[in-house]
Amino acid sequence: MPSQHHILTVGISLLTNFARERSLEVDTAAKHHPALGHFLQKDPRKACAEINSLDSRTGFLERKTSGLAVTLAFTTTGKGKLCASLLEKELKRRNVAVHKLPVRGADAPGRDLTPEFAVRECAAALSELRQRVIAHVARLQKSDPPPRIELNCTGGYKAECAVLYELGRTLRLPVYYLHETFKVAVELP
């Protein structure tokens, strides 16, 4: 049974970091699935903000961290699913228990969406994220013994981070993110 459980919002930092290193567009980088996996394996902290922040908080890359479990909250866009699947594979390779929490996302380019549609979709997706995380935390807290639950809001876009922060305050759970300058996990007050 896991003794600590971290719920992470998943963004596309893996894709953007890979694209930047290879001088590619993000859409082109997404087509290099095997190379993305190797990029993540080679230097996980450099490749991916989500793993970087989790490691900064737990030290799981350098030492065996028994009882560590992670939930990846990701959008069901092509890029969201790709990043979540690569993170899941890498974390499992390192003996971290992984749960997935998919939430809706709009996969169409922004130029194809009307402002009204975008507003409705974003609000619905954020509401779904909130409700799914609440339900997931409730299930985790029913475990015997319940794990220490922490919320990692480093990945994803700003509104997702705000939802996770609000949930942490409401549910009285620690919320942290990776400070970009100092490269350390900072717990939010």
Which class for 186: exposed (0-12), middle (13-18), buried (19 or more C-beta within 10 A)?
Answer: middle
CA distance 175 to 121: 25
What is the domain count for the chain? Answer: 1
| Averaged confidence pLDDT in the chain | 92
Label residue 108 by pLDDT band (50, 70, 90).
low
Label residue 173 by pLDDT band (50, 70, 90).
very high
CA distance 107 to 124: 14
Asked if 14 contacts 171 with a C-beta cutoff of 8 angstroms, the reply is no
Mean of the pLDDT values across residues 7-12? 96
pTM, 2 dp: 0.93
Q: Is the pLDDT of residue 151 over 70?
A: yes
Mean of the pLDDT values across residues 115-131? 89
Q: Is the pLDDT of residue 183 over 90?
A: no
Label residue 24 by pLDDT band (50, 70, 90).
very high
For residue 112, what pLDDT is reported?
66
- With tokens 């169409």, the residue in question is 108
Q: Is the pLDDT of residue 120 over 70?
A: yes
Q: Which segment of 10-19, 62-71, 80-89, 149-158 scores lowest on mean pLDDT?
A: 62-71
- CATH number of domain containing 174: 3.40.50.10770
Summarised one tens digit per residue, pLDDT across range 68-82 is: 999 999 999 999 999
Q: Is the pLDDT of residue 109 over 80?
A: no
CA distance 42 to 35: 10
For residue 1, what pLDDT is reported?
65
Helices (H), 30-109: 33-42, 44-47, 49-58, 78-93
CA distance 124 to 136: 18
Domain extent at residue 121 = 4-187
Question: Measured at the alpha carbon of residue 70, what is the angle toward residues 66 and 75, in degrees to the nearest 5?
Answer: 165
Note if the bond before 145 is cis, omega within 30 degrees. yes
Mean of the pLDDT values across residues 36-55? 96
For residue 115, what pLDDT is reported?
81
